Structure 1
């Protein structure tokens, strides 16, 4: 679970990140309770304006899809209780948002997350970097990059600039 603040000039600032792990041997209901409690704690601590979740639409590993769906259901429930809007983004969208390439590798995503958030090194474990990338993606997509620029919006990352250019090209086609 990653928490970032997105400024008016699309400057992302690191706030917090947490990875909740449970043993595979733990009963499913207890695993969901533990993960849900971790999500709830982060939501209540930071009171986000929006929550972003991974949208998995194609996956060969059914247990991975089921796990993500179950955890997403818990997160949706917690967000709905608090009136927080939820956005869904595919892994490809997230990778494209932070690296400029939807097929980027995990280490590339981690490196760009560190650069975007001005961190000394990529967040560890890789799940932490993925959560922050998802939060950055959602923050940047809240207002299309092709929207009129705001004062001070001259410091786009290479990924943001590539995204803006692609959006502009698609609109002119």
Structure 2
């Protein structure tokens, strides 16, 4: 199964594409869709059209999107929600199923700790996908979202890494 993970943002939307095999994950691609300052409709169009191109190129079977968290600034939360809506629209226009995950769920699935720091998530993404280098933070968040979906709520036990969880840590 091919999964497209999306970390929505109005300035930078991260994406990550992985394949889930029987007992392993394989990295396909990741990156960011960046918008420039300008009219909101133009920025949303850019997010949606770029994600549609990514969908056409990689042909994912499913899409996983990070849910919006309520920010201190309501305006920022609304703008983030609109970017997220553009990402979801890109997926549904291609008849793809969309699953949504909170940051807590993603961190729990990837690191084993729902309150993990971003650098811990990024390190686990590198480990789980056997990456030679470090993806950018937005791309890493999108890959983490895809990994969370691939785990299907079963945690790391379904992925053969030669590692196991003990007291919330990989050993």
Question: Would you call these one fold, judging by a TM-score over 0.5?
Answer: yes
Instruction: Compute the displacement of 1:67 (Å).
Output: 2.5
User: Counterparts of 1:20-39 in structure 2 under 5 Å?
Assistant: 20-23=33-36, 25-39=37-51
Instruction: Compute the displacement of 1:94 (Å).
Output: 0.5
User: Counterparts of 1:7-46 in structure 2 under 5 Å?
Assistant: 7-9=21-23, 11-23=24-36, 25-46=37-58
Given that 1:51 and 1:84 are in contact with CA atoms closer than 8 Å, whether structure 2 keeps it comes out as: yes
Quote the residue 2:62 is aligned against.
50
User: Counterparts of 1:80-119 in structure 2 under 5 Å?
Assistant: 80-119=92-131
Are 1:135 and 2:149 an aligned pair? no
Unaligned stretches of 5+ residues in structure 1: 164-173
TM-score (norm 2): 0.80
Are 1:68 and 2:77 an aligned pair? no
Q: Cα deviation per residue 1:128-160 (whole Å; 9 max; x = unaligned)?
A: 11010011111111xx428xx98xx6546546x
Instruction: Compute the displacement of 1:47 (Å).
Output: 1.1
Instruction: Compute the displacement of 1:122 (Å).
Output: 2.2
Structure 1 residues 100 and 29, CA gap change in structure 2 (3 angstroms): same
Q: Cα deviation per residue 1:1-42 (whole Å; 9 max; x = unaligned)?
A: 111111111x1111111201112x311111111111111111
Given that 1:116 and 1:157 are in contact with CA atoms closer than 8 Å, whether structure 2 keeps it comes out as: no
Distance 2:138 2:163 in 1: 22
Instruction: Compute the displacement of 1:46 (Å).
Output: 0.9
Are 1:3 and 2:17 an aligned pair? yes
TM-score (norm 1): 0.79
RMSD of aligned residue pairs (Cα, Å): 2.4
Q: 2:92 is paired with a residue of what secondary structure?
A: helix
Structure having the higher Rg? 1
Given that 2:126 and 2:134 are in contact with CA atoms closer than 8 Å, whether structure 1 keeps it comes out as: yes
More strand by share: 2
2:154 alignment partner, one of 145, 155, 158: 145
